[in-house]
């Protein structure tokens, strides 16, 4: 019977297989564990309904964006002095190693909070009083792929669910006609995207993120030629009846139950997703606010605007990945280009969410897999200089969703190597994001290989001071 069913789905021509894979299901899952049921209710009153994770892949330089280091400007081109090297682990002593590199960008204070922001980000800086800037993130993974996995899943190995997968497992989605976890990628240069960053890991496959493109829409979601909506409805009713007959002969088959629902989701997406993904109905003023009218920021601006529309639809977790921040050489030109592409869209997103009364219920998170070193890489000079990877200390920020803006948490040393105040890890950030959603990391459990797994692996610390109350 199983073989016959597979043959039927392979030959039926329904055009929804890939959609089902990406949106809700995938191949047979949970081969090594029975999993756990979950109520999909928050553990306590949440401050946020949705998350938009602005992931800057490649590693933005923290001392070039949100963590100014005046001493670097004074010591540009010098070796790290013994007085500082002695206090920072694994830093070469004077006369050895790479030379210090001043940021090529100026900083100034913005807003009532007076937080300093780089001249690279003049638009985002206008919203600094909404930002909680965390300057003390750190971990020990210096390589892009594993670092990206660690930032998005809590493990460098890529075997665990992404945070978006955990969120949709814990809370489900309020979006009836869309998946609960959606991923958009822009600028494919630099390190390749890491699939675990939107994967379901050991969770059922229906909790993985769905990749979409606002230009091409959702892959395989269009009705085939010569098919009408009524044709598809009749076809899916027939498939549902076959699956339900098979399901009644099973004691428990959560994958089959989910597969039945995935076809219904796919049908609703065929009817409604094209309209949701179409930005042409937005006003010219709104599109300018996101930088869609400018070549450099058009793509990421479109993704940020779409993120706002997805939040309005009740999508629970939206991940916008922008690549190309890996600046081993020519950091000045690299960061200018990346900020031209992202600064106005990010500011537009914050402004649009705020004016629509959506920022209070949406948590926006910005940052990469690590930062960059205070020293140059190699012997480059002038504008050809760049920085190496620095997971030992870097910056991210949060806004909206109950977050207390206009504050800085933590600090790195005077050159920007490592945290000297309030050191925090990606696990702590994940615990904090879950807390905003009303989820207790220690109660969000899935049994895998006879072990009760939680989203933060061994646990993280909620950054309580990040919240307004």
> Domains in the chain, start-ordered, CATH in brackets?
32-214+279-466 (3.40.720.10)
Whose tokens are 């692996």? That residue is 457
pLDDT the model gives residue 269: 59
CB contact at 8 A, 54 and 322: yes
Average pLDDT of the segment spanning 104-126? 98
**Cα–Cα nearest to 158, from 168, 167, 148:** 148
Strand partners, 107: 118
Q: What is the pLDDT of residues 168-209, one digit of tens each?
A: 999 998 887 788 999 999 987 888 889 999 999 999 888 989
Per-residue burial over 319-355, b if 16 or more Cβ lie within 10 Å, else e, is bbbbbbbbbbbbbbebbebbbbbbbbbbbbbbbbbbe
pLDDT the model gives residue 214: 54
pLDDT the model gives residue 378: 80
- Mean pLDDT over the full length of the chain: 85
Q: What's CA 367's distance to the chain center, in Å? A: 9
CB contact at 8 A, 427 and 158: no
Q: Which one has a higher pLDDT value, 258 or 283?
A: 283
Give, as one character, the DSSP assignment of residue 384: G
CA distance 444 to 184: 26
Which of 239-243, 255-259, 332-336 is least confident?
255-259
Per-residue burial over 167-204, b if 16 or more Cβ lie within 10 Å, else e, is bbbbbbbebebbbbbbbbbbbeebbebbebbbbbbbbb
In sequence order, what DSSP letters do the residues of 89-103 get, joined into one string?
TTPPPTTSSPPB---
CB contact at 8 A, 57 and 325: yes
CA distance 184 to 210: 9
pTM: 0.85
Residues 6+ apart with CB under 8 A from 326: 58, 59, 144, 190, 191, 334
Average pLDDT of the segment spanning 21-37? 38
Give me the percent of the chain exceeding a pLDDT of 70: 78
pLDDT the model gives residue 235: 66
3-state secondary structure of 211: strand
Which of 50-54, 90-94, 112-116, 362-366 is least confident?
90-94
Q: What is the pLDDT of residues 395-442, one digit of tens each?
A: 999 999 999 999 999 999 999 999 999 999 999 999 999 999 999 999
Which of 251-260, 301-310, 343-352 is least confident?
251-260
CB contact at 8 A, 168 and 264: no
The structure tokens listed for 302 are 């479109």
Q: How many CA atoms lie within 13 A of 437 on its CB side?
A: 30
Q: What is the pLDDT of residues 42-82, one digit of tens each?
A: 999 999 999 999 999 999 999 999 999 999 999 999 988 87
Which of 226-235, 264-273, 307-316 is least confident?
264-273
With bands split at pLDDT 50, 70 and 90, how would you rate the model's confidence at 22?
A: very low
Q: What's CA 151's distance to the chain center, in Å? A: 9
Which of 31-35, 75-79, 141-145, 329-333 is least confident?
31-35
């Amino acid at each position: 019977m199983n073989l016959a069913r597979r043959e039927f789905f392979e030959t039926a021509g329904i055009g929804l297989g890939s959609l089902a894979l990406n949106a809700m299901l995938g191949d047979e899952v949970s081969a090594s564990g029975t999993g756990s049921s979950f109520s999909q209710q928050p553990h306590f009153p949440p401050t946020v309904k949705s998350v938009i994770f602005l992931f800057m892949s490649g590693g933005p330089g923290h001392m070039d964006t949100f963590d100014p280091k005046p001493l670097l400007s004074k010591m540009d081109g010098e070796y790290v002095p013994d007085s500082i090297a002695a206090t920072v682990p694994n830093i070469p002593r004077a006369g050895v190693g790479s030379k210090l590199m001043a940021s090529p960008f100026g900083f100034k204070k913005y807003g009532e909070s007076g937080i300093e922001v780089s001249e690279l980000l003049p638009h985002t800086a206008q919203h600094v009083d909404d930002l909680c800037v965390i300057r003390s993130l750190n971990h020990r993974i210096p390589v892009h792929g594993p670092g990206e996995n660690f930032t998005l899943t809590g493990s460098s190995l890529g075997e665990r669910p992404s945070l978006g997968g955990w969120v949709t497992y814990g809370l489900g989605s309020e979006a009836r006609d869309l998946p609960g976890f959606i991923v958009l990628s822009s600028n494919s240069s630099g390190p390749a995207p890491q699939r675990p960053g939107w994967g379901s890991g050991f969770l059922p496959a229906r909790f993985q993120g769905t990749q979409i493109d606002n230009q091409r829409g959702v892959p395989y979601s269009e009705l085939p030629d010569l098919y009408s909506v009524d044709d598809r409805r009749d076809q899916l009713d027939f498939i549902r009846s076959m699956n339900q007959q098979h399901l009644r002969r099973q004691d428990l088959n959560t994958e089959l139950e989910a597969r039945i629902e995935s076809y219904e989701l796919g049908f609703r997406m065929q009817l409604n997703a094209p309209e949701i993904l179409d930005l042409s109905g937005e006003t010219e003023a709104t599109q300018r606010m996101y930088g869609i009218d400018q070549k450099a920021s058009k793509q990421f601006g479109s993704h940020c605007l779409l993120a706002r529309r997805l939040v309005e639809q009740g999508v629970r977790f939206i991940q916008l990945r922008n690549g190309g921040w890996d600046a081993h050489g020519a950091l000045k030109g690299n960061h200018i280009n990346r900020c031209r592409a992202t600064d106005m869209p990010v500011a537009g997103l914050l402004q649009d969410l705020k004016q629509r009364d959506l920022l209070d219920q949406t948590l926006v998170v910005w940052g990469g897999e690590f930062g960059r070193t205070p020293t140059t890489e190699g012997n480059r000079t002038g504008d050809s200089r760049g920085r190496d990877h620095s997971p030992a200390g870097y910056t991210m920020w949060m806004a909206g969703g109950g977050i207390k803006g206009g504050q800085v948490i933590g600090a790195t040393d005077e050159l920007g190597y490592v945290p000297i105040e309030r050191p925090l890890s990606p696990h702590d950030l994940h615990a904090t994001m879950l807390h905003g959603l009303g989820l207790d990391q220690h109660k969000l459990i899935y049994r895998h290989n006879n072990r009760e797994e939680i989203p933060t692996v061994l646990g993280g610390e909620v950054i309580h001071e990040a919240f307004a109350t």
